[in-house]
Structure 1
Amino acid sequence: MSSTLAEQIDALLPQTQCRKCGFAGCKPYAEAVAQGSADINQCPPGGEAGIGKLAALLGVAAKALDPAFGTERPRMVAVINEADCIGCTKCLPPCPTDAILGSSKHMHTVIAAECTGCELCVAPCPVNCISMQPAADPDWTAENADHGRRRFQAKNRRLAQQEAEKAERLNRQKQLLAKIKSAKTSL
């Protein structure tokens, strides 16, 4: 089975889902590059090596990372200062890979092996207890990217399933209310 150009581009991206490129994740960015509506130099986590891979795939000249999208740096992971964490859960929804473990009013922690270093959890934290630190393995690898992609897809499947279950519950409630209303009017 042959893959589309967007899929080939997506396979070369680091899969941080960080949105630094200006898109809602790696796949939308890959689609935009494939369509020619985004440039190959918008991915800070991919950096110079990623730009080189994209240039080779597309048969274009490599160029420097556009500083408007950030700067290249080693792979990072989020770390929560657990003593300062208030358990607000505001860091959980933005995490694209469910790498943060915690519940309301309880301390949270980051599962470093699942963290892509996207930094999306940092801004929502009201007590600034989340910092970014260099990952144990500072280089992006295909394995890191594949793992990040699988985690991101799993989270999206989970959220879609939750949404479908919620819609089904609401539908059953509406049907029950309609039956109750109908029974009351027939009395």
Structure 2
Amino acid sequence: MNKATSDEIYALLPQTQCKKCGHGCCRDYAEAIADGAPINCCPTGGAKGIRRLSRLTGKPYIPLDTRYGEERPRDIAVIDESLCIGCRLCINACPVDAIIGTNGFTHTVLSLKCTGCDLCTPVCPVDCIIMTNTSGEKTGWDAWSTAQAKRARVNHERRQQRLKHEAEIERIRLEALAKTGSAGRKKKNAVLAAVEKARKKASGQT
């Protein structure tokens, strides 16, 4: 059996970031496989994906575990903008930033970026997102190219970097707010202490 690295395994996954394998993203599944997890839990990659992983890892080919889903044609999300309420829940759920829009305004799916992960549909409170077949009868890697996977990987990693950057900015903002609040409280307490001292002096108290 070959000892494949998580990076090598990650490069062979479809990068849809759909979580159907039971892990948080393709990177997490790749790390799990490197640690000994089964190679047949990715319905997006399907049978061809399992064969690729089998050749890389040296593990025997086994059929897709359908508890994680069936190998299917490629879908993309389409938003019915007449129903969209602009809640941003789908934008927050999308792992590749394929949905654009602002609070209170209708959102739109960028079809070239959409991986068909289907993570946006369960969070939509008005059921305005429809998954639409774009590959006909082609399924798995017959419906999804290596170039598309590479592009999806880049989009996902850019999103992860953006979220990390935004979280750091928020952390700095909260720290600054806390320091400002602490300084304000100290100043207020000093003023109150000075007033109380002056009151005592005026009343002849020591």
TM-score range, shorter chain: over 0.9
Question: Any stretches of 5+ residues in structure 1 without a counterpart?
Answer: none
Task: Tell me if 1:15 matches 2:15.
Answer: yes
Instruction: Tell me the CA shift for residue 126 of structure 1.
Output: 1.1
**CA contact under 8 A between 2:73 and 2:135: conserved in structure 1?**
no
C-alpha separation between the residues in 1 aligned to 2:134 and 2:94?
Answer: 17
Instruction: Describe how 1:115-126 pairs up with structure 2 within 5 A.
Output: 115-126=114-125
Instruction: Describe how 1:26-65 pairs up with structure 2 within 5 A.
Output: 26-36=26-36, 38-65=37-64
Q: TM-score, normalised by structure 1?
A: 0.93
Detail structure 1 runs of 4+ shifted over 6 Å in the superposition.
none
C-alpha separation between the residues in 2 aligned to 1:176 and 1:88?
Answer: 33
Q: TM-score, normalised by structure 2?
A: 0.85
Q: How many residues are aligned here? A: 183
C-alpha separation between the residues in 1 aligned to 2:103 and 2:20?
Answer: 29
User: How large is the Cα RMSD of the aligned pairs?
Assistant: 1.4
Identity of aligned residues (%): 42
Question: Any stretches of 5+ residues in structure 2 without a counterpart?
Answer: 192-206
* Gap change, CA 1:136 and 1:70, over 3 Å in 2: closer
Instruction: Describe how 1:54-93 pairs up with structure 2 within 5 A.
Output: 54-93=53-92
C-alpha separation between the residues in 2 aligned to 1:93 and 1:12?
Answer: 26
Task: Tell me if 1:112 matches 2:94.
Answer: no
C-alpha separation between the residues in 1 aligned to 2:17 and 2:61?
Answer: 22
Identify the match of residue 180 of structure 1 among 164, 180, 184.
184
Aligned partner of residue 132 in structure 2, secondary structure: strand
C-alpha separation between the residues in 1 aligned to 2:181 and 2:10?
Answer: 47
Instruction: Tell me the CA shift for residue 43 of structure 1.
Output: 0.2
C-alpha separation between the residues in 1 aligned to 2:159 and 2:134?
Answer: 22
